[in-house]
Amino acid sequence: MLKLVSLICFLIFSCYMGVESKDLKHLTNELEVNVAASRVWELYRHLGISMLTARELKTVIQSVQVLKGDGGVGTILKLTFVPG
In the chain, where the domains are located? 2-16+31-81
pLDDT at 25: 58
Pick the range with the lowest mean pLDDT from 9-13, 29-33, 34-38, 74-78.
9-13
- φ, ψ (nearest 5 deg) of residue 31: -150, 130
Q: Is the pLDDT of residue 23 over 70?
A: no
Contacts of 9 (CB under 8 A, 6+ apart): 57, 60
pLDDT in tens, 27-68: 566 778 788 888 877 777 777 777 777 888 888 888 888 888
pLDDT at 47: 77
DSSP category for residue 25: S
51: left (phi over 0), alpha (psi -120 to 50) or beta: alpha
